[in-house]
Amino acid sequence: MTQVASNCPQCGAPVVFRYAQAVQTTCPYCSSILVRTDVDLEKVGEVSSYPNDPSPIMIGTEGIFENKPFVVVGRICYEYENGGWNEWHIVYSNGESGWMSDAQLQYTVTKLIPFPQSLYGIKLDPGTMVDVNSVFYTVTTVTNANYRAVEGELPFQFWDKTVCRFVDLRTSDARFLTIDFTEEPALIFSGRSVGFDDLKLKNLRQFEGW
């Protein structure tokens, strides 16, 4: 991956982008949220404190999905009434990027796809079955979550959100869709559910007793 270096406008510390297309990152020294415009960095906020996080994944964790190596470069943290989860921004060795959801020991890996025409005008309640690109998915959950914090590099600006709405859809063979209504128009991400061991993760956080 091409790395781009700059300096934090708040504290002057070096800031390195692992992902050349990233437009937002956080300073690891002063926790400023930084947005990149051309070659300049602008401070737009500060990182909120993270809740206690049992996830073994962290910035710099590496893994493999569908035979493609990737590295974790950023994350968005959400909270909702039943807990919370992380959306990890991952970058593959070929420069493409995607997302790895880490929700209470359940993992999915997705990437952004064009919004399917078949979903326009559909009421997406739990239990609804829809045809997306000739694959039948069932709506499993509709979640209203609160944005909690952000870390590392992201491919878009995301630091001032409040309530976020997501709709998850699944198939019986582990294919997965999630629709993100924090943007207008909504975004859709396609991928699949995976087991922790299947991702072959390394450079994980170490907890006492491991």
How far is residue 25's CA from residue 153's CA, in Å, rounded to a whole number? Answer: 4
Per cent of the chain over pLDDT 90 is: 55
What's the pLDDT at 99? 97
Q: What are 184-203's pLDDT values in tens digits?
A: 899 999 999 999 999 999 99
Strand partners, 33: 26, 45
The DSSP bridge partners found for residue 194 are 107
Q: Which of 112-126, 167-181, 195-209 has the lowest mean pLDDT?
A: 195-209
Comparing 185 with 1, the larger pLDDT belongs to 185
CATH of 4-46, one of 1.10.760, 3.40.50, 2.20.28, 2.60.40: 2.20.28
Q: Structural domain boundaries of the chain?
A: 4-46, 62-199
Mean pLDDT, the chain, integer: 88
pTM for this entry: 0.87
pLDDT band at 183 (very low <50, low <70, confident <90, very high): confident
- Binned at pLDDT 50, 70 and 90, residue 53 comes out as confident
pLDDT tens for 58-101 read 999 999 999 999 999 999 999 888 888 999 999 999 999 999 99
Q: Which is more confident, 31 or 187?
A: 187
How far apart are alpha carbons 162 and 145 in whole angstroms? 8
pLDDT surpasses 60 at 209: no
Give CA 44 to chain center in angstroms.
20
pLDDT at residue 16, as a whole number: 82
pLDDT at 15: 86
Q: CA 200, 203, 209 angle in degrees (round to 5)?
A: 100
Span of 16-30, 63-77, 141-155, 171-185 with lowest mean pLDDT: 16-30
Amino acid at 126: P
Question: Which residues make Cβ contacts (< 8 Å) with residue 126, sequence separation at least 6?
Answer: 139, 140, 141, 142
